Amino acid sequence: MAELRTETMTVNMGPQHPSTHGVLRLVLELDGEVIQSTNPTIGYLHTGIEKTAEQKKWQQVIPLVERMDYLAAQSNSLSYALCVEKLLGLEMPPRVKDIRVLIAELQRLASHLIWLGTHSMEIGAVSMLFYAIRERELLMNINELMAGFRFFPSYIRIGGLREDLPRGFHDAVNAFLERFPAKIDEYEGLLTRNDIFLRRTTGVGVVTQDDALAWGLLGPIARAAGSDYDVRRYFPYSGYETYDFNVPTAKEGDVFARYRVRMQEMRESVRICKQAIARITPTGAWACDDTRVVPPPKDKVYTEMEALIQHFLIYSQGFTVPAGEAYVPVEGPRGEHGTYIVSDGTNRPWRVKMRAPSFMAIQALPKLVQGGLIADVVAVIGSNDVVMGDCDR
Amino acid sequence: MDSLDAAAMDAPAIINALGPLVSGAAYEAAPSVDFATIYVPADRLVATCAALRDTPSLRFNVLAEVTAADYFPRDPRFEVVYHLLSVPNRLRLRLKVRASETLAVPTVQGIWPSAGWLEREVWDMFGIVFDGHPDLRRLLMPEDWEGHPQRKDYPVQIRKAAQTYEPLEVSEEEFKANLVRDRVKRDAH
C-alpha cells in the first residue's frame, strides 16, 4: 500500500454563504479541517457611495451614508453630520446633543441585537434570533414613530435634527428601557453558561491587544482584548463626557470575550439612554439657530419674504461649507466610525471618506482564523460583527 | 489618563519632536480645524512613521485610516492622507503625502499591518502606486476593471458592456493529456 499523504484542499466559502453576513467570499485552504490560509474577497456590495456623495449637496449625502452600514445607519449619519458641523463651526443646543446621544445608543442596541441573534444562530442557538428580533422590533417602532422610517430614518441632519420629537416618544422609549434589562438577563440565561455555546466560543479567534490595535480593530474587538479605547471616552462628542457609563473590557480576546463585552455594552447603553431621556424635554430646540443651514420654521416661510427666500435657497442651491478638511470619529456599534471630509468651499463635498470598522475586521480575519477549524470561521465572522455594506461602501 | 490634554501636541510640537529622530526631512504644518496635520515628504514617510510609532512621547500605535483626495488639475494632483491614533497618549495626527500618477508613495505596511488593504483601496480608487506593497490588486472594483473611479476626471455615469466568457472547450486528446499530466503531478508529490 502506498504511503499515506495529505494534500491541502481549497474550499470556496461564499459569496452566497448565509453566515457571511452579506456577500463576503472566502477562499480557504484546508488541511483536513484545519485552516492553512484564508483569502477574503470583498467588493460585491460596492455601490460607489463616496463617489456619489461628491455629486450631491451637503444635506443630500445623509441618506447615502446611512445606507453604508445598514445595521447602524444613524451612527454613520451622526459621524457625517458632526464632521460637517465641525467644518461649519456649529455648536448644537444641549437638547439636540442629548437626543443624538439617545438615538446613537438605541442604534447600538438595535445593531447589537442583530449581532446577537445572527451570531448565536450561526453557532447553533437558533431560537436566540427570534428573541433578539422581538426586542429590535420595538426599536424599529421607535424609529418609525420618530421619523416615519424604520431602517434609515435620516433624522439626524446637519445643524440638528429633522424636526421635533413626536408626541408619545418618551412613553415609547421609557417602555422599552423598562422592559429591556430583563430581556438581557434572559439572553444571558440562554447563552452565557450554555455548554455548547461555550465550547464553540472559548479560545476561538484569539487576538491580542497589540495585534488588535496594530490591525486597526478599534471597538469591541480591541476592548475584548484588553484595550479600553472607546471614542466616547477618549474623544467625547455630542456631550458624552456628561454621561455616567462604564467601558466594558475583557482580557481573553476570543469570541466569548467579544460576546461578554457586547452584552455589557448593551447594559451600559440602557444606562446612557435612561440618563438621556430624563434630560430631554418633550418639546424644545431641535436644531441650532444658524439660518445658513437650518431652514426657517414653516409658519415664517408662509408669512415672511426673507424666510421664504432662505427656505428656497437651502433646498435649491444648498449651503456652502468653508474650505478645509476634518475627520470626526464616533463610537459605532462595530467600532470607530469615522468621516473624513474635504470641502472646497462650495455647496458639494469635494471628498467624503468613511472609515469602516467592518473593512478592518475582514482584513484581519485571516489572522484570527489561522490554525483554527473550518467551523470556527463562522463563529469568528459572527463575533467580528461585519456588515458588508459597511465594508464595501 | 483624564489629565492628558488632547490638544497638547499641535503640529509644530510634533514636528519639533520628530526633528532629531528623522534626519533631513522637511515637514510642513498644515492648517486644520480638528487636530495636527503635517505634510511629509514621500522619501521620509517610512522613517517618520516608525519614529511616530516608537517614540514614547508620541506612540501612534494605530493607523486608523488611509485615504486620498484628488485635487485635479493641481500638480501633483493627489494627497494621500494617513489618520494616526495614539491610544496611550490620547492623540490624533493627520499625515499628508503628495503624490501623482507617476509619483509613488512608499508603503507603511511594515509599520502598521492594517495599511495593507487601506493602501490597496487607495490604489484601486485613485491609481496611486505604493512602493513595496506586496499585493497591489483591485479590492473593491472587479479584477478586470479599467480606470480608477475616485479620480475627478473619471466620469460619474459610465456604461460598461457586460462581460461574457466563452465556455471552456477541450478536445478529447487534450482532456486525456490533462489527466495524465495531473497524475504525474500528483505522483511527484
CB A111 within 8 A of CB A140: no
15-44 in chain B: CB under 8 A from chain A: 31-35, 37
With contacts defined as CB-CB under 8 Å, which chain A residues touch B90? Answer: 234-235
Amino acid at B86: S
Q: Is residue B2 part of a domain?
A: no
Question: Which one of B35, B109, B111, B114 would you mutate to disrupt binding with A, by most A Cβ within 10 Å of its Cβ?
Answer: B114
pLDDT tens for A291-314 read: 888 888 888 889 999 899 989 988
pLDDT tens for A149-186 read: 888 988 999 988 988 899 989 999 999 999 999 999 99
Q: Is residue B4 part of a domain?
A: no
pLDDT at A1: 56
Q: Is residue B1 part of a domain?
A: no
Task: Name the DSSP letter for residue B77.
Answer: -
Q: Please tell me the total count of domains within chain B.
A: 1
Q: Is residue B103 part of a domain?
A: yes
pLDDT at A27 over 90: no
Residues 6+ apart with CB under 8 A from B151: B70, B72, B126, B127
Question: Which one of A325, A336, A341, A354 would you mutate to disrupt binding with B, by most B Cβ within 10 Å of its Cβ?
Answer: A325
CB-based contact, B119 to chain A, within 8 Å: no
With contacts defined as CB-CB under 8 Å, which chain B residues touch A5? Answer: 189
Domain spans in chain A, listed from the N-terminal domain onward? 49-360
CATH number at residue B93: 3.30.460.80
3-state secondary structure of B140: coil
Residue ranges of chain B with pLDDT lower than 70?
A: 1-8, 162, 185-186, 188-189
Residue contact B67–A340, C-beta within 8 A: yes
- Distance in angstroms (rounded) separating the CA atoms of residues A343 and A366: 37
pLDDT at A204 over 60: yes
> How many other C-beta atoms lie within 10 A of the C-beta of residue A228?
15
Three cell numbers, residue A37: 490560509
pLDDT at B4: 44
Number of continuous H segments (helices) and E segments (strands) in chain A: 17, 8
CA B81 to mean position of chain CA atoms: 9
pLDDT tens for A127-158 read: 888 999 999 999 999 999 998 888 898 899 99
pLDDT at A256 over 60: yes
Residues 6+ apart with CB under 8 A from A197: A120, A123, A124, A125, A191
- Distance in angstroms (rounded) separating the CA atoms of residues A24 and B139: 12
Residue contact A363–B138, C-beta within 8 A: no
pLDDT at A79: 93
CA A123 to mean position of chain CA atoms: 23
- Distance in angstroms (rounded) separating the CA atoms of residues B100 and A264: 47
- Rounded to 5 degrees, φ, ψ at B105 are -120, 135
Three cell numbers, residue A291: 439660518
Which residue in chain B is spatially nearest to A335 when comparing CA positions? B64
CB A65 within 8 A of CB A49: yes
Task: Tell the CATH topology of A49-360.
Answer: Cytochrome-c3 Hydrogenase; chain B (1.10.645)
Burial annotation B163-186 (CB, 10 A radius, 16+ → b, else e): eeeeeeeeeeeeeeeeeeeeeeee
pLDDT tens for B46-89 read: 988 888 888 888 888 999 999 999 998 888 889 999 999 999 88
Three cell numbers, residue A155: 433624522
CB-based contact, A6 to chain B, within 8 Å: no
Whole-angstrom distance between the N-terminal and C-terminal Cα of chain A?
Answer: 55
Amino acid at A133: I
pLDDT at B135: 85
Q: Is residue B6 part of a domain?
A: no
- Distance in angstroms (rounded) separating the CA atoms of residues A260 and B115: 29
Which residue in chain B is spatially nearest to A52 when comparing CA positions? B156
Which residue in chain B is spatially nearest to A42 when comparing CA positions? B140
pLDDT at A103 over 80: yes
CB-based contact, A227 to chain B, within 8 Å: yes
Residue contact A86–B33, C-beta within 8 A: yes
- Distance in angstroms (rounded) separating the CA atoms of residues B72 and B79: 10
Q: Is residue B73 part of a domain?
A: yes
Residues 6+ apart with CB under 8 A from A332: A69, A72, A75, A76, A79, A108, A111, A219, A357
CB A307 within 8 A of CB A301: yes
Closest CA to B68 of B108, B112, B99, B30: B99
- Distance in angstroms (rounded) separating the CA atoms of residues A347 and A344: 9
Long-range Cβ contact pairs of B108-112 (< 8 A, separation 24 or more)? B108/B45, B108/B46, B108/B49, B108/B63, B108/B66, B108/B82, B109/B133, B109/B134, B110/B46, B111/B46, B111/B49, B111/B50, B111/B53, B111/B63, B112/A214, B112/A216, B112/B49, B112/B53, B112/B62, B112/B63
Residue contact A216–B32, C-beta within 8 A: no
Q: What is the mean pLDDT of chain A?
A: 89
- Distance in angstroms (rounded) separating the CA atoms of residues A193 and A345: 56
Average pLDDT over residues A347-360: 91
Residue ranges making up the domain that contains B115: 11-188
Three cell numbers, residue A251: 482580557
Average pLDDT over residues A321-350: 91
Which residues are paired to A326 by β-bridges?
A341
Query: Min CA distance, A33 vs chain B (Å)?
Result: 21
- Distance in angstroms (rounded) separating the CA atoms of residues B94 and A326: 10
pLDDT band at A342 (very low <50, low <70, confident <90, very high): very high
Average pLDDT over residues A336-362: 91
Average pLDDT over residues A102-131: 90
Tell me whether the omega of the peptide bond preceding residue A236 falls within 30 degrees of 0, making it cis.
Answer: no
Residue contact A355–B87, C-beta within 8 A: no
3-state secondary structure of B126: helix
pLDDT at B2: 38
- Distance in angstroms (rounded) separating the CA atoms of residues A318 and A308: 14
Q: Residue A101, exposed/middle/buried by CB under 10 A (0-12, 13-18, 19+)?
A: buried
